[in-house]
Structure 1
Amino acid sequence: MAGCELEEKERFWSELDEVMESIPTGERVVIGADFNGHVGEGNRGDEEVMGKFGVKERNLEGQMAVDFAKRMDMAVVNT
């Protein structure tokens, strides 16, 4: 998602939300992708979706990944 305009990134996350909502409840989902996001060190109130041992500062793409995980009741792991 590096080099994409914000509008395109927002559209991507919206479409991914729609895909996730189409998956039957109770199914396990693993998303493996490089979103060029840094979720950052510490979890700043995001304990329900991630641990505190990240690297660097959180960037926009990292925040979008964390927000997605919260919406979908998922976890951010192995960034």
Structure 2
Amino acid sequence: MILVKLEVGDLVLNVISAYAPQVGHNESTKREFWEGLEDLVRWVPIGEKLFIGGYLNGHVGTSNTGFERVHGGFGYGIRNQEGEDVLSFSLAYDMVVANTLFRKRESHLVTFSSGLHSS
């Protein structure tokens, strides 16, 4: 993870670039990632803006039930445990999953494909 602080006039923007462990990694590796991200988020002073960009390797799903404050209702697919972790983190730190706030073209809904196809 990388944290960059940008100061423009009175605005201070902190940008965290993060890449979460992929589905299938052990729970210890995933927990270590989320704890590290929490440490970085807590380091940002209140009053400064924060943006987390990167790939959190979770499907937040189309439904925002239970997460209306952080999920705009335009997710993709079925929520998995990693997506649940993303949404719970967002709730805990009063953040929003920005790419769920607007409808996207079907071709823009999936950012990675393994290239493996079933017959």
Task: Specify every segment of 5 or more residues in structure 2 that has no aligned partner in the other structure, as ranges.
Answer: 1-20, 101-119
Alignment of 1:1-79 (within 5 A): 1-2=21-22, 3-78=24-99
Deviation at 1:58, TM superposition (A): 0.5
Find the residue that maps to 1:19 and give its secondary structure.
helix
After TM superposition, the score normalised by the length of structure 1 is 0.90
Larger helix percent: 1
Instruction: Give the drift of 1:64.
Output: 0.9
Structure label with greater radius of gyration: 2
Structure (1 or 2) with the greater strand fraction: 2
Highest relative contact order (Cα 8 Å, sep 6+), 1 or 2?
1
Amino acid at match of 2:66: G
Give the share of equivalent positions with the same residue, in percent.
41
Aligned CA RMSD, in angstroms, stands at: 1.2
Match for 1:73: what amino acid? D
Segments of structure 1 that go 5 or more residues without pairing to the other structure are none
**What whole-Å deviation, never above 9, does each CA across 1:22-71 have from its counterpart, x for those lacking one?**
11001111111112211001101101111112110001111111111111
Alpha-carbon distance in 2 for matches of 1:10, 1:63: 14
How far apart, in 2, do the equivalents of 1:41 and 1:34 lie? 18
